[in-house]
Amino acid sequence: MGHNSTLGDKLSKSAHSLGQKALRVTRRVGKVADSVADVSKGVAAISGTLAAGAAMVGAEPVAAGLLGVAAGAKALEGVSRGVSMGASAITGGVDAADHTVRAIDQIRAGNVVGAIKEGERAVSAGESASKKGKSFKKEIERRRK
């Protein structure tokens, strides 16, 4: 029994460690996606303004090129916002699972009050993740049309 228990503990710790690493990567991806979206939004605004000025001056080929840059930047902004929303939903789901594990640990330790509090936190995090996931799904459906 001791060997199986030790093996189970090692596997559990390894799985937890991998999960935490994945969570850190997901959070970083979300932050980078937000930054990319903000920069591309600025690029789209500036190139759109420059395109309008070029059209007024009579440089239609330049205006067309700048409008293409603005359109590409807006598309990149949309993709980046979608990636950020997806990363946020994943992070919320992981937080809910983490609180659930803590609640189980509290039950095993005999701390019923602590288990209830962790359970409430798990439910709250799960509801938040669910809302983010639904919002992400609506955003994808809206962009398909």
Q: What is the pLDDT of residues 24-57, one digit of tens each?
A: 888 888 889 888 888 998 888 888 888 888 888 8
**Gap between the Cα atoms of 30 and 105, Å rounded:** 30
Tokens of residue 64, six digits: 């067309």
Examine the pLDDT at 11 and tell me if it is beyond 60: yes
The model's pLDDT over 82-115, given as tens digits with 9 standing for 90+, comes to: 888 888 888 887 878 888 888 888 888 888 888 8
Domain-wise residue ranges, the chain: 20-144
Q: Give the model's confidence band at 145: pLDDT under 50 very low, under 70 low, under 90 confident, else very high.
A: low
pTM summary value: 0.66
**Gap between the Cα atoms of 90 and 80, Å rounded:** 15
- Provide the pLDDT for residue 55: 85
Structural contact between residues 91 and 128, judged by C-beta atoms closer than 8 angstroms: no
DSSP 99-143: HHHHHHHHHHHT-HHHHHHHHHHHHHHHHHHHHHHHHHHHHHHHH
**Gap between the Cα atoms of 70 and 51, Å rounded:** 9
Residue 28 sits at the vertex; the CA angle it makes with 144 and 73, to the nearest 5 degrees, is: 45
